[in-house]
Amino acid sequence: MARLAALGRFLFRHRDVLPVPLAFAVALSSRIRGGGRVSGALLVLAGLAIRLWAVLYIGEQSRSRGDGPAFRTIGGPYAYFRHPLYLANGVLSEGLVLFSGAGKRWLPFVFPVLAFLFYVPIVAWEQGRVYRRGIPIITHRFGVRTALCSERRTYQSVLAFLLVSVVSSFVRNNLRRNRQ
């Protein structure tokens, strides 16, 4: 359990950077088509909505790089899910994969497993920090402006992924047509 928590600490501190190579690989190999595009876009919107809802209750703490949470919240989505931000990230990631059409049929099934393997150590580390330190519980809600400002990098990352996916898919389709 100590090794899992140590891995979780590392993953937590680098959680914005570590998925970037995989995201670029997926975006660059995109083949945007019909149904996947629609279902992917719906999942992306759902993931972003869940993230915004969660950040309304956790505030800017969701962007911390420190030694774990300063408080524990039980309001909003935290009343239903223990880790709604990680759930939202999984939904959002799956939506981006489906939207991109990358990996043919296997990647949408592999991606949730990868997300699970990424977040399990982080959760193990966070849980140990919360219970060891006797962190206070809060239930109040932060302002929408605070939540939107906190999520700015998320929106920028999603937009960048979608743009790279669309451009990559467009270039692939045009290259294929020119060969024929």
Which tens digits make up the pLDDT trace of 110-143? 888 888 899 899 888 887 766 666 676 777 677 8
How far is the C-alpha of 40 from the C-alpha of 28, rounded, in Å? 16
Residue type, 82: R
Residue with tokens 């977040």: 119
pLDDT for 66 equals 61
CA of residue 33 relative to chain centroid, distance: 23
Low-confidence ranges of the chain (pLDDT < 70): 1, 61-70, 104, 129-134, 136, 140, 180
Tokens of 31: 């083949």
pLDDT for the residue numbered 168? 87
* pLDDT of amino acid 102: 81
pTM confidence score: 0.84
